[in-house]
Amino acid sequence: MKNFFSKHKNILLLSIVAFILLRLPSFWEPNWHPDEGFYATVATSMANGKILYRDTFDHKAPLIYFTYMLGSGLGKLFYIKLLNLIFGLVGLIGFSRLVKVFSKSTAVYLASIISFTLLFGSSFREGNIANTENFFVPIVIWALVLALEYPTKIKYFISGILFAFAFQYKFHSLLDLFALCLFWLVLDPKNVVQLIKDKLVWILGGFGLVNFLVVIFLLLKGLFFDYFNAVYLFSFSYSTDNRGFVLNRLDVKLLVYLLLLIWAYWKYKKKQNISEKTFLLLILASSALFAMSLGGRNYPHYYLQLVPYASIIIGFLYVKYLQHNKLLLTGAVITIFSGLLLLHLVGGYKNAACQRQGILSPNESVFRYYYVFGKYLTGDTYTHSEYFNCIEMHIEDLQEQVADLDPEQIYIYDFIGWHYLAIGYEPPVVFLNPYHTFLSDYIAEDVIKELKANNVDMIAIRVGIDPEDGLEDLIQEDYELVSSSRYYNFYRINE
């Protein structure tokens, strides 16, 4: 192995440099991603003494909020971006070792690591955003490395611990652990007892130990049921929000996942035309695909869980079909370049996006993301608000209006996520994300009760967004419109 990596250390070093360059714009881009905004807001509330899931609510596992506590407040978000980069680099180094588990081919290694660097490092799948996937995927990569690369019982145990930490970032990582255990069971079904003694008891022991300690801590704090409701029950309702599309049905997703596993098993056991490691790769990829589908939405960062396995598959495909076929390789390069160019040409235009939804994801055009960053660094005509997106126009509008109206408390019905931090106010309700009230009637009712109980003197409603019936009724009964701006309507409580 030392010879393998010493031979390829220059490839890895160049990949690290490229990865850093791809992530560099994230240190300067404005705060635009709603998930980051809600994480930062919840983490800041926690830093100010509020209890997660009880006093301030979001439906993700706890580690993402404790991570964001390192950067609580707008002035410290640099540390979150830096931590995102560090996790990404750790993941890249781990991936360089994971590839060799599946192939000793230099060509596979090169194609795989280039693919991973581009897919996980760039803004294409929101590698630039400090989301849960950006933190748990590198942990999963190292958990797999420990379990597959010259494993021992202690390495299995540490691997289980790493899987547990990934699980406490996002429960979807459980599918990676499941895939690994399923592979072991299928590989040698006649020696299950020995498998349990040598592998499963150690890796599941490490996983169970960490989660057992988490449960004990939550029980002692009286938070277990709040935690369970938020992270699992609420996330389950989120995952089963079908939106009228048949492929969003959970039973359909499970069926597709099962069919993929059966196909991989058939290829390995019956046809015997794929290797043991390729079989493992297909199980891992299928499990990651199922995990990323649970959200029921086509958000770019969901794909990051699939990136390690997809990158290795790309490496195999390159060697099998392209490496020795120059004509086909040239055609593939031209096709990919043309596709990327087309994405650049049709990528969302900033002003059109403002009119449409107020948010322009940089991923609508990766070329634009880096092009505008270059312009920004050279002092071109792009202002900070024009850099990547127009969401800061909303925040500036909110800041100006709130400064004039000077409310004691304000509830903001908007999906941006950054608004409370931007204006320096604590959310007056536990459920600060309007999407939660949209999904759950009981949460919507709780918000109304809190607004009444706390006598919140101002409510800001984003223009173009219709609030739930209960909130609309409350505004009509107890509030009056005192100001309207381009992006918000402001209602003050009746005297």
Does 436 score more than 90 pLDDT? no
Rounded Cα gap, residues 200 and 357, in angstroms: 48
Q: How far is CA 241 from the centre of its chain?
A: 18
Residue closest to 119 by CA, chosen among 15, 35, 13, 39: 15
Which pLDDT value is given to residue 361? Answer: 45
The tokens describing 196, both together, are: 């349990």
Residue closest to 61 by CA, chosen among 288, 222, 284, 215: 215
Condensed to tens digits (0 to 9), the pLDDT of residues 184-235 reads: 999 888 888 888 899 999 999 999 999 999 999 999 999 999 999 888 888 7
**pLDDT band of 333, cuts 50, 70, 90:** low
Question: Where are the domains positioned within the chain?
Answer: 2-231+300-314, 327-377, 391-493
Q: Which residues pair with 490 in a beta bridge?
A: 460, 483
CB proximity list for 437: less than 8 A, separation 6 or greater: 431, 443, 444, 447, 468, 471
**pLDDT band of 347, cuts 50, 70, 90:** very low
Contact predicate 413/464, CB 8 Å: no
Condensed to tens digits (0 to 9), the pLDDT of residues 9-51 reads: 888 999 999 999 999 988 887 777 888 889 999 999 999 999 9
Task: Print the SS3 string covering the chain.
Answer: CHHHHHHCHHHHHHHHHHHHHHHHHHHCCCCCCHHHHHHHHHHHHHHCCCCECCCECCCCCCHHHHHHHHHCCHHHHHHHHHHHHHHHHHHHHHHHHHHHHHCCCHHHHHHHHHHHHHHHHCCCCCCCCCCHHHHHHHHHHHHHHHHHCCCCHHHHHHHHHHHHHHHCCCHHHHHHHHHHHHHHHHHCHHHHHHHHHHHHHHHHHHHHHHHHHHHHHHHHCCCHHHHHHHHHHHHHHHHCCCCCCHHHCHHHHHHHHHHHHHHHHHHHHHCCCCCHHHHHHHHHHHHHHHHHHCCCCCCHHHHHHCHHHHHHHHHHHHHHHHCCCHHHHHHHHHHHHHHHHHHHHHCCCHHHHHHHCCCCCHHHCHHHHHHHHHHHHCCCCCCCCCCCCCHHHHHHHHHHHHHHHCCCCEEEECCCCCHHHHHCCCCCCCCCCHHHHHHCHHHHHHHHHHHHHCCCCEEEEECCCCCCHHHHHHHHHHEEEEEECCCEEEEEECC
Which pLDDT value is given to residue 55? Answer: 93
Condensed to tens digits (0 to 9), the pLDDT of residues 366-380 reads: 777 787 777 777 776
User: One-letter amino acid identity for 314?
Assistant: I
User: One-letter amino acid identity for 98?
Assistant: L
Least confident residue range of 427-431, 467-471, 478-482: 467-471
**Which whole number is the average pLDDT over 470-477?**
91
**pLDDT band of 327, cuts 50, 70, 90:** low
Condensed to tens digits (0 to 9), the pLDDT of residues 401-415 reads: 999 999 999 999 988
Contacts of 315-319 with CB under 8 Å at 24 or more apart are 315/99, 315/103, 315/105, 315/107, 315/108, 315/109, 315/110, 315/111, 315/112, 315/115, 316/102, 316/103, 316/108, 316/278, 318/107, 318/108, 318/111, 319/105, 319/107, 319/108, 319/111
Strand pairing of 458-462 and 479-484?
unpaired
Rounded Cα gap, residues 374 and 304, in angstroms: 25
**pLDDT band of 125, cuts 50, 70, 90:** confident
Strand pairing of 458-462 and 410-413?
parallel
Condensed to tens digits (0 to 9), the pLDDT of residues 271-303 reads: 777 889 999 999 999 999 999 888 777 788 899
CATH class for the region spanning 391-493:
alpha beta
